């Protein structure tokens, strides 16, 4: 479980990005942050792995205060997927995915085998594994981004608009496959989107934020649909 306890982020220029956020993201579930541009979604997400340091408050991973763990150790257990897949352009698909296991000390051979397995799980055709990222479509690049995050088998995944840069048909496909995969893997996922339909489709719970960084409501998709 991830727990925000009265978390506030004020940037050095004075912008109040997140204001006194209290929230729990349950283990094995998808929690979606949704709201208009600038409401503090990305800031909230990046405070979980301490890419951004809260101004005040605490974020707990189970019973551990994330401020008390070395960032490198914290991030080992937290996968991170962003909108532009952020792949290494000069490494092939399989090398991109194998990078993290190699950094974690796996042999190249094992890391490569694992990378190919994970790529298969996210539905990337095997014949694309030796291509470079620029030779893939946007949707395929996102699959590789998800695979790279999954390769270290982290219990927690942070996903920031991972499907927003692709066209609607591919997006719907990626969403469906993501739900299928999550059904098997049961990760603790925090997912950011500005798209309320995506939030309702993917979320076990939906945190609706409003500009000024405040939580407007925390609801189930069914509750959001019934209003
Ligand atoms: P969202 O992800 O919902 O679009 P962000 O978390 O990116 O929102 O931003 C929340 C607010 O903080 C916005 O007003 C944004 O302009 C501001 N902000 C984000 N990053 C910085 C920064 N490094 N310095 C100052 N203000 C920032
Ligand atoms: P999408 O509709 O998913 O964005 P694209 O139109 O970008 O797909 O690509 C369609 C197909 O062409 C994909 O199978 C992709 O692998 C292939 N492709 C795209 N760019 C290149 C490239 N530079 N070299 C080789 N194949 C490519």
Would the pLDDT of 178 be above 80?
A: yes
Question: Which pLDDT score is estimated for 10?
Answer: 98
Ligand 1 centroid to Cα of residue 133, in Å, is 29
Question: Which pLDDT score is estimated for 108?
Answer: 92
Mean pLDDT of 69-80: 92
Question: Which pLDDT score is estimated for 103?
Answer: 80
Whether 11 lines ligand 1, by a CB cut-off of 6 Å, is: yes
Dihedral sign, Cα of residue 97, residue 98, residue 101, residue 102: negative
Whether 84 lines ligand 2, by a CB cut-off of 6 Å, is: no
Pocket test for ligand 2, best of 85, 137, 174 (most atoms within 8 A of CB): 137
Q: Is 119 exposed, middle or buried (0-12, 13-18, 19+ CB in 10 A)?
A: buried
Position in ligand 1 atom list of the atom nearest CA 194: 3
Residue owning tokens 């692709």: 166
Span 132-165, pLDDT tens digits: 999 999 889 999 998 998 888 899 999 999 888 8
Whether 83 lines ligand 1, by a CB cut-off of 6 Å, is: no
Residue 101's pLDDT band, with cuts at 50, 70 and 90, is confident
Would the pLDDT of 84 be above 80?
A: no
CA atoms of 132 and 186, how far apart (whole Å):
30
Ligand 2 centroid to Cα of residue 136, in Å, is 5
- pTM exceeds 0.95, yes or no: no
Q: What percent of the chain has pLDDT over 70?
A: 100
Supply 115's token pair: 């990378």
ipTM of the complex: 0.73
Whether 135 lines ligand 2, by a CB cut-off of 6 Å, is: yes
Which range is most confident: 16-30, 67-81, 90-104?
16-30
Name the β-bridge partners of 43.
none
């Amino acid at each position: 479980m991830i727990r925000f306890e009265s978390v506030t982020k004020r940037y050095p220029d004075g912008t109040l990005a997140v204001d006194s956020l209290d929230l729990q993201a349950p283990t094995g579930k998808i929690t979606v942050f949704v709201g208009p541009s600038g409401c503090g979604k990305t800031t909230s997400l990046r405070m979980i792995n301490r890419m951004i340091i809260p101004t005040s408050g605490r974020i707990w991973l189970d019973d551990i205060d994330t401020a008390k763990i070395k960032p490198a150790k914290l991030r080992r257990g937290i996968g991170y997927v962003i909108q532009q897949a952020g792949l290494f352009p000069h490494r092939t698909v399989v090398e991109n995915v194998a990078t993290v296991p190699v950094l974690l000390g796996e042999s190249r051979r094992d890391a490569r085998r694992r990378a190919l397995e994970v790529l298969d799980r996210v539905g990337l055709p095997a014949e694309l594994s030796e291509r470079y990222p620029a030779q893939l479509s946007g949707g395929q690049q996102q699959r590789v981004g998800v695979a790279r995050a999954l390769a270290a088998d982290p219990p927690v995944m942070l996903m920031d608009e991972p499907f927003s840069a692709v066209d609607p048909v591919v997006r719907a496909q990626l969403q469906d496959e993501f739900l299928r995969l999550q059904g098997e893997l049961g990760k603790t996922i925090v997912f950011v989107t500005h798209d309320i339909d995506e939030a309702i489709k993917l979320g076990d719970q939906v945190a609706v934020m409003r500009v000024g960084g405040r939580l407007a409501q925390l609801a189930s998709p069914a509750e959001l649909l019934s209003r």
